[in-house]
Amino acid sequence: MLRTVTAVVAGCLLVVACGTDPPSGVDRAIAEAAIHAAVTRQLVEFDNTFGPDHRFTEVLIVDHLETRAGDGEPEGGRGASLTDGRRSAIRAAVEHLAPVRFIDNRSAYIRQDVLQPTIPGSVIITLAPVEFDNEGATVGADLWCGGVCGLRLTYRLTEEPDGWTVTGTEGPWSIS
């Protein structure tokens, strides 16, 4: 009996220690598209600072990754452009909530004099690169819809049988 228990515990520890390898190649591109789509939907539909029943007039998504998105610092380095596959996945995840537009420069859509979007009722989403680890993935994100309407955080996601799912947040976050 003791050998059986020891073997089961050792097996469990081995599985936990090994984790899973992050996806690579085409699998990585597909996973990153699904992750960014899940994060965008979570922000727009649930974590938008107004509640789950709020609808924006338009969802403006920065068309490239920002290395500092989600970490509370001013805009960081410009990362890779969102691929067509990633844009399609994001659009499919939120187009039932509001029209979607990809933008190059978020500052061009902000009225600095009053800290409001140039398109009334819209929201600007900025995404960071996906970071894979043994528990799944994390990705930073910013939501901005005005001077007192913003959110910066890092989401934790896990891969479930039906796709990537946001399971919570990690680290510091800020809200205005």
Question: What's the pLDDT score for residue 13?
Answer: 39
CATH number, domain containing residue 124: 3.10.450
Asked whether residue 10 carries a pLDDT value surpassing 60, the answer given is no
Task: Evaluate whether residue 15 is within a structural domain.
Answer: no
- pLDDT-based confidence at 74, cuts 50/70/90? low
Main-chain phi, psi angles of 113, to 5 degrees: -65, -30
| pTM for this model (two decimals) | 0.85
**pLDDT: is 26 or 90 the higher one?**
90
Question: What's the pLDDT score for residue 35?
Answer: 98
* Overall number of domains in the chain: 1
Asked whether residue 154 carries a pLDDT value surpassing 80, the answer given is yes
Domain that holds residue 34: 22-175
Main-chain phi, psi angles of 37, to 5 degrees: -65, -45
Asked whether residue 51 carries a pLDDT value surpassing 90, the answer given is no
Q: Which residues pair with 57 in a beta bridge?
A: none
Encode pLDDT of 91-124 as tens digits: 999 999 999 999 999 999 999 999 999 999 999 9
DSSP letter, residue 1: -
Average pLDDT value over all residues in the chain: 87
